[in-house]
Chain A
Amino acid sequence: MEHDCSLASGGTGCISERQNSIITTGKNKSRIHCADDSLAGAVSQRACVFCGARVVLNPITDAIHLVHGPIGCATYTWDIRGSLSSDSEMYRHSFSTDLKEKDVVFGGEPKLAACIDEVISKYHPPAVFVYSTCVVGMIGDDIIAVCKDASERHGIDIIPVESSGFLSGNKIVGYRAAAEALMKLIRPKPGEVIEKTRKLNFLGEYNLGGEKWLIERYLNEIGIEVNVAFTGDSTVAALKRAPGSCLNIVQCTGSMHWVATNLEKEYGIPYLDVNFFGAENTADSLRRIAAFYGDPEIIRRAESLIEREMNRITPIIARYRKKLTGKRTAIYVGGAFKAVALIRQMKDLGMEVVVTGTQTGKQEEYDTISGLLSEGAIVVDDANPAEIERFLLDLKVDVMAGGVKERVLAYKLGIGFVDHNHERKECLAGFDGAVTFAREVYITTCSPVWKHLKASIGGEEL
């Protein structure tokens, strides 16, 4: 397969070692290879450990997020998520130790300690997260010790996040580093008792476009209170109350499954996997949460909410489905959780999913994905732009869902695009989100601009 993929424009993109990372549903007997590291020299869409840790923790609104390293790591992650806050905006400011050559030579620990002291004296935050970066891991700064000292000095939580980029090219390792930092933060101090409540924690919810707020409204309506979300619109104090919940619902499993199992182990809190992307998924998740509580009133209220919302949105979605039926779509996102949700939603809109890929999917997740797709659909792990391009063109895709790097590529190929990345600004969760999603897909797939693509002013058809 590596020889038949030359592009008309001269760029090619198939690496023979990668053929096991691409499967065609119904054809391949073998399973996908997805635990491989990206190849040296690949134009990978993947990032690093630091990136993974940063996206998970940054939405904690009132903490100071201090990046220990040269300036770039702080600049590129400054306020790039669409996570909204109902109160503090501290997390939207960028703090860096801005390491210089002499720090790299003589060690960055004194500068880190000084920076921690300075930001604390200025802002009196309830906690500071200190992220290690590549160079810090390399020169061996003991950030654990610096944080521990500073924590004793200032009497607040100063939590090291071990996120040196080179530890792995897979963001999942960074999710884990963040998860460990979270567990450290919420562990009660000796003698401290956290009161048990009937509230739930909402794990893997980042409040993009206010999604946490929307789901919280649904839950409140049926009689359930949210203790805290991990980590959308969360505060340090609220996170510390997490052990007092009676249930964890887990949305983005890639980043939060480990936290859920540990909360179960340490605090005996059971968890439920939920999914609020798409109307059917939302209804299903609400029913399962209500069933967990087992209270007939909660169950009744959930059913009536679902009925009301379904009645409201079904005709709207149907209107979009009419326009979109038969269109072909490709999905390329970070995690498999999102991919699965998107496949369902695209199918709900009458569309055919012809390509699905993720950066960090696991074996069994890819099995689930393959099970959802029709024969001939492509499943790919860690695709490079040239592969994505080939699939989009060969499979005559009309619209793609992905992240920032795929957006411009899709557009250049004359293909619509929906942002389902962690930087999106629209609320795509819940019943309202299902409508917004349908509208977003419609707007980009059926933009009047596409008509002008073929026109030429030079006499020649483009």
Chain B
Amino acid sequence: MLECMPEGEVVHTVGKINPTKTCQPIGAMYAALGIHRCLPHSHGSQGCCAYHRMHLTRHFRDPVLASTSSFTEGASVFGGAANLKTAIKNVFEIYKPDIIAVHTTCLSETIGDDLPTIIKQSEVPEGKVVIHANTPSYQGSHITGFSNMVKAMVTYLAERDEEALRRKRVNIIPGFVNPSDMREIKRITASLGVDMTMFPDTTNVLDSPLTAKYDMYPEGGATVEQIRDSGNSRLTLALGAWSSNAAGAALMEKCGVPCVPLKVPIGLKATDDLIMTMREKFDAVVPEDLTLERGQVVDTLIDTHFHYQGKKVAIFGDPDIVIPLTEFVLTMGMIPKYVITGTPGKAFEEEVGAMIEAAGIEDYIVKAEGDLFELHLWIKEESVDLLLGTTYGKYIARAEDIPLVRVGFPILDRAVHPLMPITGYRGCLRLIEMISNALLERRDRDCLDEDYELVL
């Protein structure tokens, strides 16, 4: 029996039980993989690097390479400077990346290694680059780490030339999403005829085809040159406040590129917002195809609304996914009863709370820095019809017999998802399909013979 809920009144105030977040460095590693020919480097013990690579590999089912400073007791006592310098030299010699993106760990942060100085003192071959982000595991979450590394790309690389050379181009910072979502956002942008730079960009890196050849550095990723030139773009769209705003703000400050913060385009409204913003800022013409796609979403919503309207749902995962997902669930007429993220930050509670209140729903709980033990407690108190979140929800799903629709990071027990977008209008269709099918499968499973219908 997977149910391990204690009996009686339960108090949970300290530590985490069944977390729905992980630590900063893995987010930094994922972001760094979105730079072309970049080798992420973990400045800490070997285990961190091995765990991050394994976790990412389980989600994406693609090879994830990263190097490590391989701290031992000596390095921990005397500081990791020598390890990092040796590592940088070795990595450029052996693995020949264009760029090394170093992130710290709780160990090197606690030791207090001064990364900018160590990097300055390192041997970096002509034309190669080393950047770094501080990613102490004891602050924030993997989303914070992602955000810190994307910001580091800007602070290290982005440059601005003459104002006259500013290009009619948009920078898109896509947030911690799957390569399929980045691909979809690029497709939408291209169809609007807007020139773009996306960074980080893990398409063709973590969704690469099987060719019987292995590229240590696959085709994809934003090049160092593209990120450098992002300082000359006309506009930045930072998708997802938690993972992208810091980089957008840094780019505004450093290179004067105005930044519009938007949600990750999950759901009808967030996708509309992305398209409208580009239309307005670049005088873009929205092509027939996109209008058609949107029309199909609205059509499908109406065709299926009675399958899910009024159903209660618990949503958990990363803030930039959960926020627009909650918005879309409200569009669908469902009731977001419990909404949690593991990432700390009161702003999450305010934003989601305001959305739910605006929909006239009063009976709900929103929590930042929660864990799945707590969510399970609430569900015990009053159940829901559907769980929407990561693989880690499967214990609650089984214990309480509630269907789980897998969305977000990580998904460790199902395949194909990193290739299928949940963003854009096509992503809306996919979400509607997954959600309504999950509820209908349940209905078919549970109903009496006389209620078992051919046509639903």
Contact = CB atoms under 8 A, between A and B. Distances in A.
Interface string B196-215: 00000000000010111111
A75 B19 contact: yes
Interface residues of B, number: 87
A134 B95 contact: no
Interface in B293-346: 342
B4 A51 contact: no
Nearest to A54: B47
Contacts of A258: none
A72 B48 contact: yes
Given A41-B88, A115-B15, A462-B212, A70 B137 contact: yes
A76 B214 CA distance: 27
Nearest to B7: A122
B10 A43 contact: no
B4 A93 contact: yes
A100 B72 contact: no
Contact of B46 (A98, A123, A165): A165
Contact of A104 (B52, B63, B110, B214): B110
Interface stretch (A150-158, A336-344, A402-410): A402-410
Nearest to B41: A41
A139 B67 contact: no
Interface stretch (B79-87, B154-162, B171-179, B180-188): B79-87
Given A7-B216, A72-B26, A413-B214, A165 B45 contact: yes
A42 B72 contact: no
A318 B299 CA distance: 58
Contacts of A72: 22-26, 48, 51, 106, 137
A11 to B, nearest CB: 3
Nearest to A11: B216
A213 interface: no
Interface in A78-127: 78, 89-90, 92-101, 103-104, 111, 114-115, 118-119, 121-123
A43 B95 contact: yes
How many chain A residues sit at the interface, stated as a range, is 35 or more
B212 A414 contact: yes
A109 B52 CA distance: 27
Contacts of B88: 41
B129 to A, nearest CB: 16
B272 to A, nearest CB: 35
Contacts of A405: 50, 53-54, 57, 63-64
A9 B139 contact: no
B103 to A, nearest CB: 12
Contacts of A97: 14-15
Interface string B131-171: 00000111101000000000000000000000000000000
B94 A389 contact: no
B70 A42 contact: yes
Given A70-B23, A75-B22, A111-B15, A14 B94 contact: yes
Given A75-B19, A95-B17, A49 B47 contact: yes
A92 B396 CA distance: 12
Contacts of A44: 46, 49-50, 68, 70
A71 B137 contact: yes
Interface string B11-23: 1111111110111
A191 interface: no
Given A12-B95, A75-B19, A95-B15, A409 B106 contact: no
Given A71-B16, A75-B22, A134-B105, A389 B214 contact: yes
A123 B70 contact: no
B69 interface: yes
Contacts of B217: 10-11
A70 B210 CA distance: 37
Interface stretch (A32-40, A238-246, A281-289): A32-40
A15 B105 CA distance: 25
A412 B214 CA distance: 6
Interface stretch (A166-174, A202-210, A263-271, A306-314): A166-174
B45 to A, nearest CB: 4
B139 to A, nearest CB: 5
Given A72-B51, A74-B16, A123 B4 contact: yes
Given A169-B47, A404-B57, 18 more contacts: A11-B216, A41-B86, A44-B68, A44-B70, A69-B106, A75-B21, A76-B22, A97-B14, A97-B15, A115-B15, A118-B14, A119-B17, A122-B10, A122-B11, A122-B12, A166-B44, A404-B58, A462-B212
